[in-house]
Amino acid sequence: MSQPSSDSLSERRAARGYNAEDILEAIAKLNSLSAWDFDAWQVERLPPARLEHLAQVAHHSSAQALASKVADQRYPILMAFLLESRQRLTDEILDLYDNRMAESQRDAKNELKAHRLRLSESWEGQAWYLGQMGRMVLDETIPDAGLRSHIFEVLPRNQLEAMMQALEAQREPLDVLHFLGNRYRYLRRFFPQLLASLDFRPQQEVD
């Protein structure tokens, strides 16, 4: 096992946020541990409490202090630290992902509320114009031949066309998934790396 440098214990520092850069940084740290053949260490022979103790020794020791220990003491400490780092980084990445998605969903819900508020305000204006046009249609004093000109006096043709286009666009109501989909490009900055770095396994059914 090679000797760690003063920077090789940087896995001790947890991510400060949960944006794409923070997630990619945590994934890079996890990938840096992939060079170690953890399965060949056969650490299952050691009690979990012993591994936890050795990992804590590594956390509270400097690289120089670890280097001063004899190999029989140093290697188990480093192995326990690397195993603990892999598990902690995996948990951290999943927590970062959960927080990122939760915030994205909150933002999408807020955008949906704002969208519906704009629609409500738009519908109020459209309802007013519809009422005006309805009164003109029912007004017996307005001849059929002059009805369109009277309507365009209240609502110019270009504005009426714009209003009809807006109504047509609102035929399919938007939902949270639409606004969450607007964040696809941002989420894609880290999502492929996340899937590639984690080992997903199906949950075994309990007999």
| pLDDT band with cut points at 50, 70 and 90 for residue 94 | very high
Q: Which residues contact 154 (CB under 8 A, 6 or more apart)?
A: 129, 132, 133, 136
Taking residue 97's Cβ as centre, other Cβ atoms within 10 Å add up to: 19
Instruction: State the average pLDDT over residues 164-175.
Output: 80
pTM of this prediction?
0.66
Cα(150)–Cα(153) distance, integer angstroms: 5
Residue 5, pLDDT above cutoff 50: no
95 pLDDT more than 70: yes
pLDDT tens digit string along 26-53? 999 888 887 777 767 777 777 788 888 8
Residue by residue, DSSP assigns 31-99 as: HHTTTS-GGGG-GGGS-HHHHHHHHHHHHTS-HHHHHTS-HHHHHHHHHHHHHHHHHHHHHHHHHHHHH
Q: How does pLDDT run across 125-135, given as a tens digit for each residue?
A: 888 888 888 98
pLDDT score at 168: 80
